Amino acid sequence: MKYSVSLKSNRDFRRLYSRGKQAVEPTMVLYFRKNRLDQNRLGITVSKKLGNAVIRNKVRRRIREIYRLHEEEFLPGRDMVIVARVRGAHVSYWTLDRDFMKLARKLGLLKVENSP
């Protein structure tokens, strides 16, 4: 992640859950809030309900890679937490990609594209 830092502090996660804006898809929930930095911070949460450690890490890697590939499309200065839902462990990579970008558009996290 070239322009981003991992979000690791429990305090930051709790602040996003309580005061951040959120959007929901069947495979994940995206929370976000503006920060006062010039870079984005990303946190990923995967519950034990999804399965064993292999499955949880697979979902986490997929989400991190989806974000990495679309990183330049995001506005800077945002904290984001992605909470994977149970259905996210049983869908394809492309479904996760589509849902993640749909949530980002819904919350207005993407840079505005110049359309002719």
Task: Quick: pLDDT tens for 32-83.
Answer: 999 888 889 999 999 999 999 999 999 999 999 999 999 989 988 899 999 9
| Listed residue (41, 49, 50) closest to 91, CA to CA | 50
pLDDT computed for residue 96 by the predictor: 94
Please tell me the number of Cα atoms within 13 Å of 77 on its side-chain side.
6
pLDDT computed for residue 112 by the predictor: 75
Fill in the DSSP letter of residue 112.
P
Residue 114 has pLDDT above 50, yes or no: no
| CATH architecture, domain defined by 4-107 | 2-Layer Sandwich (3.30)
Q: Which residues of 66-79 are buried (b: 16+ CB within 10 A; e: fewer)?
A: bbeeeeeebeeebb
pLDDT computed for residue 33 by the predictor: 92
Distance of alpha carbon 76 from alpha carbon 34, whole angstroms: 9
What mean pLDDT comes out for the span 82-96?
A: 93
Distance of alpha carbon 69 from alpha carbon 1, whole angstroms: 9
63, 100 contact by CB (below 8 A): yes
φ, ψ of residue 23 to 5 degrees: the values are -140, 150
How many residues in the chain? 116
Strands 21-24 and 4-6: unpaired
pLDDT computed for residue 5 by the predictor: 86
pTM: 0.87
